[in-house]
Amino acid sequence: MTTIEHNALTAEQIQLVKDRKQIFYIDRFALREGEVVALVGPNGAGKTSLLLTLALLQKPTGGRIQFNGIPASPRNLLSLRRQMAVVFQEPLLMDTTVLENVMAGLRIRGVPGEEARRRAGEWLERLGIAHLAKRPALRLSGGEAQRVNLARAFALQPKILFMDEPFASLDYPTRTALLEEIGTILRETRITTLFVTHDYTEIPFLARRVAVMLDGRLIKTGTVAEVLGIEAIPQRIAAPWEQDVRRSL
């Protein structure tokens, strides 16, 4: 049995209620150090709300969240947030150069200028966009902008990475190429990662474990093969288990 000490993140009995409506209730969820977990489920299941809560960007109505065994509290929220990075579907780039965008988070966290420039440059190179360093970020294509967004996150050297459907708006060739690259990066860096997706074809590129949400609850977790009933080979994946799960609720 995995203990809290071996988990990068543990959440217990966390709940979110808005306007008297329960958005989610999770009895227990854990991210093991170095693993990548895909969080899937239909629209309205509560996936993004759970991600934002685990990333400490949204306060839960109740429950406990721990990072490496340290409980999150109002006193340590800032220090804990600085150990994370979040990548959203929309890149949300600033009206400045690509390099300045990637350096922005580092500067906010107090990284000296030369070090920030070095780390930003390394990730621009790694993601194949070093030649865009001086280009205005708002003039990039969708794929280029998302690469900048990802470079900005990786440059922070986060202990935990949260990604909320970062590939959803990209065309198929761009999405596939980027998924292959990010999959390689995550395997090499072993950054603990939770990524939300509605596209099951993305899962085998990145994750070895899947958590399924339905109506604000985690209803199933396991390996890709266990949950989706397939081998870990990128392909168009149906959800053969979904109807069975609904009938069992």
pLDDT of residue 142: 92
Maximal CA-CA distance, the chain? 58
Residue 119 confidence (pLDDT) above 80: yes
**Claim to verify: residue 166 and residue 46 sit in the same structural domain:** yes
**Claim to verify: residue 36 and residue 59 sit in the same structural domain:** yes
pLDDT in tens, 63-74: 999 999 999 999
Stretch (H or E) spanning 20: none
Among candidate residues 118, 135, 157, the one where a domain is terminated: 157
Stretch (H or E) spanning 138: none
pTM (predicted TM-score): 0.89
Average pLDDT over residues 189-198: 95
DSSP secondary structure letters along 2-22: --GGGEEEEEEEEEEEETTEE
Q: How confident is the model at residue 228 (pLDDT cuts 50, 70, 90)?
A: confident
**Claim to verify: residue 133 and residue 237 sit in the same structural domain:** no
Q: How confident is the model at residue 216 (pLDDT cuts 50, 70, 90)?
A: very high
Structure tokens at 193: 């990662």
Q: Number of folded domains in the chain?
A: 2
Average pLDDT over residues 136-148: 95
- Residue 150 phi/psi, 5-degree rounding, is -70, -40
**Claim to verify: residue 9 and residue 78 sit in the same structural domain:** yes
Q: How confident is the model at residue 248 (pLDDT cuts 50, 70, 90)?
A: very low
Structural domain of 187: 4-83+160-248
55: left (phi over 0), alpha (psi -120 to 50) or beta: alpha
pLDDT of residue 125: 97
pLDDT of residue 230: 56
Average pLDDT over residues 43-57: 95
**Claim to verify: residue 138 and residue 188 sit in the same structural domain:** no
Residue whose pair of structure tokens reads 């959440």 in the numeric block: 11
Residue 243's Cα: distance from chain center in Å?
A: 27
CB 214 within 8 A of CB 182: no
Stretch (H or E) spanning 6: none
Among candidate residues 157, 189, 215, the one where a domain is terminated: 157
**Claim to verify: residue 169 and residue 237 sit in the same structural domain:** yes
**Claim to verify: residue 76 and residue 165 sit in the same structural domain:** yes
